[in-house]
Amino acid sequence: MTAREFRRRGKEVVDWIADYYEKVESFPVMSRAKTGQIRASLPEHPPHRGETFGAMLRDVEKLILPGITHWQSPNFFGFFPSNTSFPSILGEMLSSGLGVQGMLWATSPACTELETLVLDWLVEMLDLPQKFLSTSKGGGVIQDTASNSSLCALLAARERATQYASNERGCNGKLVAYTSAQAHSSIEKGAKIAGIGRANLRLIGVDEKFAMRPEALAAQVERDVAAGLIPFFVCATVGTTSSNAMDPLRPIAKICAERRIWLHVDAAMSGTAALCQEFRWIHDALTAADSYCFNPHKWMFTNFDCDCFFVANRTELIQTMSVLPEYLRNKATESGAVLDYRDWHVQLGRRFRSLKLWFVIRHYGVEGLQHHIRRHVQLAQEFASWVQADKDFELAAPVPLNLVCFRHRGGDDINQQILDRLNQSGKMYLTHTRLNDKLVLRMSIGQTNTELHHVEQAWNHIRKAARQLNNS
């Protein structure tokens, strides 16, 4: 493709994306594709001869779009949001255009230095502990996902607990990690990958708000110590996936400090709320954490993937991850004056992700971001008040921020049928969870363009589905 054609086609693609956003509400939110339908609609073998770009774009429209669930529809209320924005998309395009591989400072100084700056900005914007600043002993790095950040935290904790011996000789089977029974499954996955073993991950019980019970954590730690095991890692969650529960960081941090256990805080979606002063209580006692992560790719208008991972002591992370083959040696690294982010995560290569985050922050400004976060929280609180006022529905968990867990009082069957009916209607998209062994519907509000009328409409659809099922 020549630069001339790229110029023309590039404009077509931007138009296509803009059109998509303008008409996204006209598509069924959940894809109606049947299993195997998309693959069956595509040629079984790769083309021998190159094809025209026009043909490809037509196929995206005709063959790929039917298999898309529209996460960027304002009527998407499933899972947690994975929202985006035009400035972010443009940043992603530039990153892809520059095609930079930022594994070392030397492989593109701007890629490293912009990332360091933006992560320092975030410390200020979210009022995170000063020790997470690059100008202190710690610092931040952009990872692909919260799953990988938690894995890195587990690995660094493992090495600190074994004086870097596990890196040399493998894990000893005595290390024990802790998280709540409501923590994200990535912690269990991380424990498997890091060689800790699922059997050495304790899932601590939760209270009536689905938050970790610190006294249960303390008791389990003591039992493990008495059995000759080594407690080394606790992951607390700020905003659990099922119900947005907030683990109490202060008492958990105290237990960790007493036993010198690494405290990692996973605030994948909810961390963004700390942009607003009134929601900063979610990070109470975060100053005691060894590491922390949150995902701008969930709620901060930055398209997937973009997770920000902060550590209090970067030497512990770098010592865990670093391997220096001859072919990566360079003067800048040897001078000790630069950060080489390849040593801050599992993979070597890295994309220029800070560009899109920088664009988002500059486009909205802190004030603009706060405005949208407050708006989403307010919409969720309003929705929760409608649920509470309705005789057929009830809240199934507290609503600290932008997720409403609720259910029809009529039992699991009717809730499942409401969910199926709504999702099949294409008018909105909801997902579910189980709390106290009951099926619960989750209304997660965070898509960039969701407004009050979308939430009102959703509530009308939910009540109508319930009425129809009651009458049938």
Does 243 engage in binding with ligand PLP (CB under 6 A)? no
Question: What burial letters (b/e) apply to 78-113, b meaning 16+ CB within 10 Å?
Answer: bbbbbbbbbbbbbbbbebeeeebebbbbbbbeebbe
Site for ligand PLP in 166-185 (CB under 6 A): 184
Instruction: Report how far residue 371's alpha carbon sits from residue 409's, in angstroms, rounded to the nearest whole number.
Output: 34
Which residues have C-beta within 8 Å of that of residue 28, sequence separation ≥ 6? Answer: 70, 425, 426, 427
Tell me whether the omega of the peptide bond preceding residue 305 falls within 30 degrees of 0, making it cis.
Answer: yes
> Torsions phi, psi of 382, nearest 5?
-65, -45
Nearer to ligand PLP, 84 or 186 (CB): 186
CA 401 to chain centre: 16
Instruction: Report how many residues bind ligand PLP under the rule CB under 6 A.
Output: 14
Site for ligand PLP in 46-85 (CB under 6 A): 80
* Spatial contact of 101 and 342, defined as CB atoms under 8 Å apart: no
- Dihedral sign for Cα 443, 444, 449, 451, please: positive
Give the one residue of 92, 120, 290, 307 binding ligand PLP; rule: CB under 6 A: 307
Closest CA to 442 of 239, 276, 303: 239
Site for ligand PLP in 272-301 (CB under 6 A): 295
CB of 244 to ligand PLP, least distance (A): 9
Nearer to ligand PLP, 238 or 455 (CB): 238
Closest CA to 120 of 105, 103, 139: 139
Nearer to ligand PLP, 116 or 237 (CB): 237
CB of 334 to ligand PLP, least distance (A): 34
Give the one residue of 107, 116, 147, 370 binding ligand PLP; rule: CB under 6 A: 147
> Torsions phi, psi of 254, nearest 5?
-65, -45
* CA distances for 141 relative to 116, 129, 138, 363, angstroms: 7, 15, 10, 21
15-23, 60-68, 141-149, 355-363 -> range binding ligand PLP (CB under 6 A): 141-149
Give the one residue of 84, 241, 415, 433 binding ligand PLP; rule: CB under 6 A: 241
What is the DSSP annotation of 162-176?
A: TTT-HHHH---S-EE
Nearer to ligand PLP, 295 or 333 (CB): 295
Give the one residue of 268, 397, 443, 458 binding ligand PLP; rule: CB under 6 A: 268
Give the one residue of 92, 266, 290, 316 binding ligand PLP; rule: CB under 6 A: 266
Site for ligand PLP in 374-433 (CB under 6 A): none
CB of 351 to ligand PLP, least distance (A): 15
Give the one residue of 141, 146, 152, 204 binding ligand PLP; rule: CB under 6 A: 146
Does 236 engage in binding with ligand PLP (CB under 6 A)? no
Instruction: Report how far residue 229's alpha carbon sits from residue 363's, in angstroms, rounded to the nearest whole number.
Output: 50
Does 154 engage in binding with ligand PLP (CB under 6 A)? no
Residues near ligand PLP (CB under 6 A) are 80, 145-147, 184, 186, 237, 240-241, 266, 268-269, 295, 307
